Amino acid sequence: MTTRQVVDQSLPKPNILRAEDNPVNHLLAQKLLQKLGQLVTAANNGREALQLWEQNQSRQFDIILMDLQMPEMDGLQASARLREQELATGAHIPIIAVTAHAIKGDRERCLAAGMDGYLTKPINPGELAATILAAFPAVLKLPADAVDALSEAPSDAELLARFDGDGEILKELAGIFLQECPRMLDEIREALRTRDPKLLKRAAHTRKGSVGNFAMSGQRETAQRLESLAKSGELFGAEDIFHALEQQVAPFNQILARHAAEPAHQPR
């Protein structure tokens, strides 16, 4: 997927702060990001990023893309310090980690440092766009502990909590969801094909409710965006949002398939 395909030009664009020490990576990311953001500000290391963020409190950045390995101050340190400062105001700017290699445990370290999402280099334009769309403005004001929307991967505990800790109900509903999933997506496709805002509104609403049950906050946000657009009666950009939604489906369905296949619990 190209950046163009997932970016709805009618949506408001975020101010992006980008920290990266490699000039070549910087230039490439800059080109991609300029299509996505109304303003892209560059920092060469974590210390600079932190300073720029501090200076910009009045014209707040909307999102930070943070390289992990940088001289002076690395991405983890910079993020942790920024989160400390945010405690005073209760604000929460989405920080997306960008890393050269997905080392096992990297993602966990990023989340522990207060980062919200995770991208690997070389940056895939579609992934970048989807990540930024998911983060903006969806997670803008969420508290740190509520944010796992970007990775679209709730833990088993989070999933279970949605069903009152009852594995049987989760298993049953995961199975039903997977059965219904293709039909739900087909309905949206049909609405887009026939340019039918009413049908799109209903189909997106159904999708939103269904994924919401399973703590899929990223998908829920995307479906919500589609529903809002359909409500306006103007379908411009709807395909792009649907493409973003389609990208979010597979990883999630894999998780649900695992739960649906759990062996039956012993009767108590």
As a three-state string, the secondary structure of 89-124 is CCCCCCEEEEECCCCCCHHHHHHHCCCCEEEECCCC
CB of 67 to Mn ion, least distance (A): 4
Specify the stretch interacting with Mn ion by CB under 5 A; choose among 64-72, 110-118, 202-210, 238-246: 64-72
CB of 23 to Mn ion, least distance (A): 11
Q: In what order do the strands lie in the sheet with 95-99?
A: 39-43, 15-19, 63-67, 95-99, 117-120
* 67 binds Mn ion, rule: CB under 5 A: yes
Half-sphere CA count of 248, side-chain side, radius 13 A: 30
* 69 binds Mn ion, rule: CB under 5 A: yes
Report the distance separating Cα 121 and Cα 252, nearest Å. Answer: 22
CB of 75 to Mn ion, least distance (A): 8
Please report, as residue ranges, which positions from 6 to 25 form the binding site for Mn ion (by CB under 5 A).
21
Specify the stretch interacting with Mn ion by CB under 5 A; choose among 40-48, 60-68, 160-168, 254-262: 60-68
For residue 132, which of 193, 79, 62 has the smallest C-alpha distance?
62
CB of 21 to Mn ion, least distance (A): 4
72/246 with CB nearer Mn ion = 72
Size of the residue set binding Mn ion (CB under 5 A):
4
- Contact between residue 28 and residue 75 where contact means Cβ atoms under 8 Å apart: no
Binding site for Mn ion (CB under 5 A): 21, 67, 69-70
